[in-house]
Structure 1
Amino acid sequence: METSKVIHAIYTDDDVLMSAVKRVKAEKHHIEEIFTPFPVHGLDKAMGLAPTRLAITSFIYGCIGLTVAIVMMNFIMIEDWPQDIGGKPSFSYLENMPAFVPIMFELTVFFAAHLMVITFYLRSRMWPFKKAENPDPRTTDDHFLMEIAIHNNQLELENLLKETGAVEINIVEKEEAH
């Protein structure tokens, strides 16, 4: 493990944070991470992060759920144990499909929702018993923290962050895993 120096700039207002992010990015500095107590609308775009592809996986999981529902209902209600329910013959799936729509909808939503939660946690590396990576507990309450790596530009960064409205600036040694 190597250690490197990072600056932790703390802000108390999300609007001040947004303008600070835009200013820091305009000055061509790389923001490592931002910790916020709540989602800040537009922060991902201001940081220049790529859009998420999780919606694509959600659609795929929904399609898997729909397929499981169709195959399951066809097997159970048509092939394995056909029954005459309310005068509806069970000779083909298509004849009975209108009655199966609620089940198809529910399994589509079930698969998409549950598999998306699992995917999100795995993608975010948030598994049970994982140690929290929050550098300052105040960011879970009412403070915002911007983390920027220092590359022989500490004084310049400190002055820039003070100008942008940072209420506190700390220099921290951060361990890096390779």
Structure 2
Amino acid sequence: MSKTKIILGCFDDPDDMMQGITNLQKNSIPIYDVYTPMPIHGIEAKMGVKDSRLGYAAFCFGCLGLTVITSIVYYTLVGDWPQNIGGKPSFAMPDFIPFMFEWTILFTAFGMTFTFFAATHLFPGRAPRVMDLRATDDRFIIAVDAKGNIPHDDITNLLKDAGAVEVKHNERKYVSYE
């Protein structure tokens, strides 16, 4: 059994890379991931990536911020220290709309930052993990999981037929910048 874990197909042209994805999918070869130095229109649909649920998380964080500031203002002005200022009610909503808006935005911003770091495993201080260092510069990379039953030569030939400039067999999953 081979020790190869990942087969990388390096492409110069995004159209060739898209053809490589098509070739692999026609032959039912699972693609681990695709790395590009720039966004490519339509690659999410071709790879079958689901829509993000980050909008739901943002809404929940906004609701949490609104609830927290509403609770603080209500407790402070009605429960803990009620005051009669000009005969107005203790909890006049129009006076607190700016506070509520700002806290909603604050909780949403910080919550989404932490959610992004948790979802992508990009915590501060963690060394970045990339398949090929050129993927952030000028190459388009298709990473194929090589642990399946498909012969490695077939995968290499499919990538070469699509226009791969280089095909590498990695024993490790990631290359570190260190």
TM-score normalised by L of structure 2: 0.81
| Equivalent residue number for residue 165 of structure 1 | 163
> Are the equivalent residues in 2 in contact too, given 1:7–1:148 (CA < 8 A)?
yes
Identity %: 34
> Are the equivalent residues in 1 in contact too, given 2:4–2:169 (CA < 8 A)?
no
| Equivalent residue number for residue 67 of structure 1 | 67
**What is the Cα deviation at residue 146 of structure 1?**
0.8
**What is the Cα deviation at residue 144 of structure 1?**
1.5
**What is the Cα deviation at residue 67 of structure 1?**
0.5
> Are the equivalent residues in 2 in contact too, given 1:3–1:175 (CA < 8 A)?
no
Q: What SS does the aligned partner of 1:4 have?
A: coil
Q: Distance in 1 between matches of 2:124 and 2:104?
A: 27
**AA paired with 1:22?**
T
Deviates more, 1:15-24 or 1:146-155: 15-24
**AA paired with 2:123?**
W
> Are the equivalent residues in 2 in contact too, given 1:10–1:166 (CA < 8 A)?
yes
Q: Distance in 2 between matches of 1:132 and 1:38?
A: 18
What are the Cα deviations for residues 17-67 of structure 1, in whole angstroms up to 9, with x where unaligned? Answer: 233323322221101111222333332221123333222222111110111
| Equivalent residue number for residue 108 of structure 2 | 112
| Equivalent residue number for residue 17 of structure 2 | 17
Q: Which of 141, 146, 153 is the matching residue for 1:145?
A: 141
| Equivalent residue number for residue 135 of structure 1 | 131
What are the Cα deviations for residues 138-167 of structure 1, in whole angstroms up to 9, with x where unaligned? Answer: 111221111102244222111211222222
Q: Structure 1 residues 175, 140: closer, same or farther in 2, change over 3 A?
A: closer
**What is the Cα deviation at residue 133 of structure 1?**
1.2
1:154 aligns with 2:120: no
Q: Distance in 2 between matches of 1:161 and 1:82?
A: 73
Q: What SS does the aligned partner of 2:21 have?
A: helix
Q: Structure 1 residues 159, 175: closer, same or farther in 2, change over 3 A?
A: closer
Q: Structure 1 residues 97, 163: closer, same or farther in 2, change over 3 A?
A: same
Q: Structure 1 residues 106, 3: closer, same or farther in 2, change over 3 A?
A: farther
- Number of aligned residue pairs: give it: 171
**What is the Cα deviation at residue 131 of structure 1?**
2.3
Q: Structure 1 residues 100, 88: closer, same or farther in 2, change over 3 A?
A: farther
Q: Structure 1 residues 127, 97: closer, same or farther in 2, change over 3 A?
A: same
Structure 2 portions without partners, runs of 5+: none
Two-structure CA RMSD over aligned residues (Å): 2.5
**What is the Cα deviation at residue 5 of structure 1?**
3.3
Q: Distance in 2 between matches of 1:88 and 1:61?
A: 35
